[in-house]
Amino acid sequence: MPSNPEKLRAGKQLSFGRTVLFGVAREPGSGRLFTGGSDFRVCSLDLAEPKPELKEIGRHESYVTGVALAGKTLLSVGYDRRVAWWDVEKRSQVRAVEAHGKWCRAVAASPDGKLAATVADDMVCKVWEVESSRLVHELRGHRERTPTDFPSMLYAVSFSPDGKHLATADKVGKVVVWEAQSGKQVASLEAPEMYTWDPRQRIHSIGGIRAVSFSPDGKHLAVGGIGRINNIDHLDGKPRVEVFDWQAGKRTHTLANTKFKGIVNRVVFHPGGDWAVACGGANDGFLFFADLKAGKVLKEEKLRMHVHAVALDEAAESLVAVGHGGAAVYELKG
């Protein structure tokens, strides 16, 4: 049966105490996942086991903020500014480099597994050759300071399905699209509603684009974050997803009318483009599924944990959400 978000059913609910899982990658053709979290560990998690547990592969020296599978190689990044390569079968580190000048926020792998891209608060995207760990490009298209002269942050990165482009997104709502092979900047987009500056009480800002994802046909780009916030000490705004025809440089849809409050941390497309799922949260968490072509929400689900990442299987029949203290499995078969 085809996947159907409106038939969403909860499966296994896993608890990992106080550990916050920030990233998840799913091994194709299996129930095995790879995670990174606040306990500094890179772990595997096999959902086929009767009692799935986090099994350590290795460690960073601080929070592990992102993981990505590039073929049979797992890459991870963390607040220790390092990028690490892992042999998941031998459960050993292949190599690690101090890649960035500030906290690393995310890592993405090209569909063919040959390239990986990392982003950090030094506002640089670095493109790596996975097999050799050779640095291919340093992409600089985001300002280091916000318009009010505070340090900015570079939160998100994603490759297009054909591997020809990658997109990066920052705190003030700017997206840059690059050619993966040449490193040439080919487009720039703005989503300023996802950035809130308080000039009176807190003299501080919140928000930013936390998620960026290409549609399966590569023609559209979805970005996720949070709408305008009244009290920037809390994530009390509405989740927000904006969709762009990135080659034309225009926004085509905005989704900001859900029953939840909180920030969108990831947006993942159905492999056929039928829908996309956004995840995030504030004090608790949410999933919402949307038909981005029609600009409407199909299904909303509340979770007890703030969700930082999700992974679909190849047929989009099952979904795993990870976040504060655990993981949740859902079935989407019609």
Quick: pLDDT tens for 84-93.
Answer: 999 999 999 9
Q: Is the pLDDT of residue 1 over 70?
A: no
| Residues 213, 81: Cα–Cα separation, whole Å | 23
The number of distinct structural domains making up the chain is 1
Q: Is the pLDDT of residue 334 over 70?
A: no
Please provide the DSSP assignment of 118-178 as one string: EEETTS-EEEEETTT--EEEEE--S-SB-TTS-B--EEEEEE-TTSSEEEEEETTSEEEEE
Quote the domain boundaries for residue 233.
5-331
- pLDDT at site 203: 66
Quick: pLDDT tens for 14-41.
Answer: 999 999 999 999 999 898 999 999 999 9
CA torsion sign, 245 to 248 to 249 to 253? negative
- pLDDT at site 128: 98
Give the CATH number of the domain where residue 257 resides.
2.130.10.10
Give the tokens for residue 311.
């992974």
Mean pLDDT of the residues in the chain: 95
Q: Is the pLDDT of residue 204 over 80?
A: no
Confidence of residue 228 (pLDDT cuts 50, 70, 90): confident
The pLDDT > 90 percentage for the chain reads 87
Quick: pLDDT tens for 181-198.
Answer: 999 999 999 999 999 988
- pLDDT at site 126: 98
Q: Is the pLDDT of residue 233 over 80?
A: no
